[in-house]
Amino acid sequence: NEHGNFAVGVSGADAGVIVAEQASPDLGRVGRITRINSPLINDLVAGDYIPVIASVALGEDGGFYNVNADMVAGHIAAAIGAHKVVFLTDVDGLYENFENKDSLISNLTLFEAQYMVENNIVSTGMIPKLKSCIHALDAGVFRAHIINGVTPHSLLLELLTSTGVGTTMHSTEESCTFDTHPLGNFASKLLENRQHSIANGMGLNGKNL
C-alpha cells in the first residue's frame, strides 16, 4: 500500500474463488481443490488492486476447507492465465540433493519436473510447490520460479537478470534451451552490486553478512 498499489484481502471462499472437496476423512476439513472461479480476481486486477488470497476454500458440501497455499497459487495462476508464477520460500530453489548445496537446479522443463515428482527425486517440503508448478505450466503458464524470499532483491534478480538466483521451470524444452532475460541497465547494475557485495562480505543493504 505504501508504494501506491492497494492490496485487497480475499478469502478463497469469497464468491467461491476456491472450491474444494474433502481430501480424506482422516484429515477432517483439509480440502483438495476442484475448481477456481476467477471473475472476482479478474475484476480486482482490472481495478488495479492486488488480491491477497487466503487459502480457505468453499466446500462442495457448503462448508469450508483449508487447502495447501502452494497448490492454490498454481491453480489460480492457471485459471487467470498468468504469464509466470513465483514461489518465495526460505531456500534458494530446487535441489537434486538438498544436503548438497552445489546441486541447485537453475533450469528445468515441465517434463523433467514431472519425472522428479513421479520418481520421488525431491524433498518432502518441496513436493507441493513442484506439483503446483507442474499444474500451472501444464495449463499454459509460461514459467514457474522457486526462489529464496530472504535474499535481498531476489525477485528483481530472478526476473530481470540472465543468471537469476533460484530455480526456473519452463513449459517447453525450447524455452528452457533458448531462454534469455532482458538485461536493462538497472538489472545489470543490481547484479554487479550483488556480486561486489558478496565478494566483500556485505549484503545488498550495506550490512555485514
- For the chain, which domains are there? 1-67 (no CATH), 83-209 (3.40.1160.10)
Query: What pLDDT, in 10s, does the model give residues 91-147?
Result: 999 988 888 888 889 899 999 999 999 988 887 778 899 999 999 999 999 999 999
Does the pTM surpass 0.95? The reply is: no
Sequence-separated (6 or more) residues with CB below 8 Å from residue 77 = 84, 85, 136, 139, 141, 144
pLDDT at 98: 81
Q: Is the pLDDT of residue 174 over 80?
A: no
pLDDT at 123: 75
For residue 86, list its beta bridge partners.
145
> Helix 39-46 vs helix 69-80: angle between axes, to the nearest 10 degrees?
70
Q: Is the pLDDT of residue 197 over 90?
A: no
- Report the sign of the C-alpha dihedral through residues 107, 112, 114, 117, in that order: negative
Q: Is the pLDDT of residue 176 over 50?
A: yes
